[in-house]
């Protein structure tokens, strides 16, 4: 029952500094109407006493909570984990706490969106990796919290994400430039997050890049799978089985994990990478370096950091400072390693 372990309150600071509670509060909050000298005195006292504000009291009294909710699916996956990593780093340096809500399934989402709004627990929410449905947007709007999207766009919220079409072009154009014309694609989608439109940018890029070469897309070379390396492995096998006499010379996978799955199947079928088949992914997953996978790099961590900054800016605006945050598109970059090369024919020609 040793509840209060020595932590002192604002009134302690006020008394010690010789001012009223009101003034102490204003000084600490940079409110208007406090002389410079008084403010300095209060700040110094607070510092000396190691005073730390009680977020709960602030919230109850109508102030900000200094808490932000992070709504994220599949936190165990590299991309999301790295976003969280970057996010927490800058959020904590701004003295903001992070409430984590994992929403893998549709049920989780419903639960989150119906529960959070009940009592405002946070000042802002960061939605990672999935689009917010119209009804969910309404609930969020009702709360009056600031919202930021990371790893994708959503509604009109400020966002940070890569340009999926651009990333796709970087990957497929690389294959095309190498001389490939028979290029397979393994596209991914998350069955629990239907309607995520961004991913399709990668598919559009594939179609365009190939069309630019005057070739029609051969649907038999395209597979759409649930997320996961194993599914990609099956998809690759399925493609190979469908065109035994005329296999693709290259594979564009929507992600590195998918690419790794495809490579596994290729190896099992006795095909060499890249001699027989080139493979490229997107992400630059930590394992991509370990497996010498050619890929299109993106930094999830940096996107997390940017999302945090977007939140901080939005909070500042609300507090009457700064300007509304603008969305940012994170850069992507082709990283040629050892899983792509010129197709056989091209080599022979040399």
Partner DNA sequence: CTGAAAGCGCTTACAG
Which parts of this chain interact with DNA (CB under 7 A)? 4, 7, 9-11, 19-23, 25-26, 28-29, 31-35, 37-39, 53-54, 57-58, 60-63
Pick 82 or 164: Cβ nearer its own copies = 82
Pick 50 or 216: Cβ nearer its own copies = 50
In the complex, minimum distance from the CB of residue 115 to its own copies, in angstroms, rounded to a whole number: 7
Rounded Cα distance between 118 and 85, Å, is: 28
* Residue 106 φ/ψ region, left for φ over 0, alpha for ψ in the -120 to 50 degree band, beta for the rest: alpha
Q: Which long-range contacts (C-beta less than 8 Å, at least 24 apart) are formed by 26-31?
A: 28/53, 29/63
Pick 95 or 216: Cβ nearer DNA = 95
**Residue ranges that bind its own copies, judged by CB under 8 A:** 2-3, 5-7, 50, 52-57, 59-60, 62, 65, 67, 70, 74-78, 80-82, 84-85, 88-89, 92, 97-102, 108, 111, 115, 117-121, 142-144, 229-230, 233, 257, 260-261, 264, 286-287, 289-292, 300-301
Pick 81 or 179: Cβ nearer its own copies = 81
Residue in this structure with the two tokens 């932590």, named with its chain if needed:
7
In the complex, minimum distance from the CB of residue 239 to its own copies, in angstroms, rounded to a whole number: 18
The alpha-carbon radius of gyration of the chain (Å, integer) is: 26
In the complex, minimum distance from the CB of residue 2 to its own copies, in angstroms, rounded to a whole number: 6
Pick 73 or 343: Cβ nearer its own copies = 73
Residue 125 binds which one of its own copies, DNA, none, with CB within 5 to 8 A depending on kind? none
In the complex, minimum distance from the CB of residue 125 to its own copies, in angstroms, rounded to a whole number: 13
Residue 324 binds which one of DNA, its own copies, none, with CB within 5 to 8 A depending on kind? none
Cα separations (Å) of 343 from 144, 169, 215, 293, 337? 56, 19, 16, 17, 16
Residue 102 binds which one of DNA, its own copies, none, with CB within 5 to 8 A depending on kind? its own copies
With contact defined as beta carbons under 8 Å apart, do 164 and 332 qualify? no
Pick 211 or 321: Cβ nearer its own copies = 321
Rounded Cα distance between 29 and 23, Å, is: 10
Residue 290 binds which one of its own copies, DNA, none, with CB within 5 to 8 A depending on kind? its own copies
Helix axes 36-49, 10-17, angle to 10 degrees: 120
Dihedral angle computed from the Cα positions of residues 293, 294, 298 and 300, in that order, rounded to the nearest 10 degrees: -10
Rounded Cα distance between 29 and 220, Å, is: 63
CA angle 285, 287, 290 (to 5 degrees): 130
In the complex, minimum distance from the CB of residue 50 to its own copies, in angstroms, rounded to a whole number: 7
Taking alpha carbons only, the member of 66, 3, 2 closest to residue 29 is 66
Query: Which stretch of DSSP H or E encloses residue 288?
Result: helix 286-290
Q: Which two tokens stand for residue 40?
A: 């300095």
Helix (H, G, I), strand (E, B) or coil at 81: helix
Residue 19 binds which one of DNA, its own copies, none, with CB within 5 to 8 A depending on kind? DNA
In the complex, minimum distance from the CB of residue 85 to its own copies, in angstroms, rounded to a whole number: 5
Whats the size of the chain, residue-wise? 350
Residue in this structure with the two tokens 């370990």, named with its chain if needed:
290
Residue 63 binds which one of its own copies, DNA, none, with CB within 5 to 8 A depending on kind? DNA
Pick 80 or 159: Cβ nearer its own copies = 80
Q: What are phi and psi of 163, to 5 degrees?
A: -90, 105
Residue 214 binds which one of DNA, its own copies, none, with CB within 5 to 8 A depending on kind? none
* Residue 266: how many other CB atoms lie within 10 Å: 23
In the complex, minimum distance from the CB of residue 41 to DNA, in angstroms, rounded to a whole number: 9
Residue 229 binds which one of DNA, its own copies, none, with CB within 5 to 8 A depending on kind? its own copies
In the complex, minimum distance from the CB of residue 10 to DNA, in angstroms, rounded to a whole number: 3
In the complex, minimum distance from the CB of residue 311 to DNA, in angstroms, rounded to a whole number: 19
């Amino acid at each position: 029952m040793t509840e209060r372990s020595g932590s002192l309150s604002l009134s302690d600071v006020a008394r010690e500094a010789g001012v009223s509670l009101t003034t102490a509060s204003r000084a600490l909050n940079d409110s208007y109407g406090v002389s410079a000298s008084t403010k300095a005195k209060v700040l110094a006292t607070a510092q000396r006493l190691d005073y730390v504000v009680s977020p709960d009291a602030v919230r109850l009294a109508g102030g900000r909570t200094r808490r932000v909710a992070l709504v994220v699916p599949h936190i165990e996956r590299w991309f999301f984990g790295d976003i969280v990593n970057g996010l927490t780093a800058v959020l904590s340096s701004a003295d903001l706490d992070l409430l984590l809500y994992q929403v893998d399934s549709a049920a989780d989402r419903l639960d989150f969106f119906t529960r959070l709004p009940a009592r405002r627990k946070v000042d802002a929410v960061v939605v990672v990796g999935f689009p917010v449905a119209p009804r969910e947007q309404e609930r969020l709007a009702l709360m009056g919290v600031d919202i930021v999207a990371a790893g994708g766009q959503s509604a009109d919220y400020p966002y940070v994400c890569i340009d999926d079409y651009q990333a796709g072009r970087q990957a497929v154009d690389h294959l095309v430039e190498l001389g490939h014309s028979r290029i397979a694609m393994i596209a991914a989608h998350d069955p629990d997050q239907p309607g995520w439109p961004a991913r399709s940018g990668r598919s559009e890029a594939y179609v365009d890049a190939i069309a630019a070469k005057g070739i029609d897309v051969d649907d038999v070379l395209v597979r759409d799978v649930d997320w996961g390396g194993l599914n990609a492995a099956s998809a690759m096998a399925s493609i190979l089985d469908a065109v035994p006499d005329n296999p693709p010379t290259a594979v564009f996978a929507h992600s590195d994990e998918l690419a790794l799955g495809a490579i596994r199947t290729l190896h099992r079928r006795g095909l060499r990478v890249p001699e027989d088949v080139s493979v490229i992914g997107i992400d630059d997953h930590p394992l991509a370096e370990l497996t010498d996978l050619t890929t299109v790099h993106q930094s999830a961590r940096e996107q997390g950091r940017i999302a945090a900054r977007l939140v901080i800016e939005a909070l500042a605006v609300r507090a009457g400072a700064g300007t509304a945050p603008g969305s940012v598109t994170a850069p992507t970059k082709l990283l040629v390693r050892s899983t792509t090369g010129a197709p056989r024919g091209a080599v022979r020609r040399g």
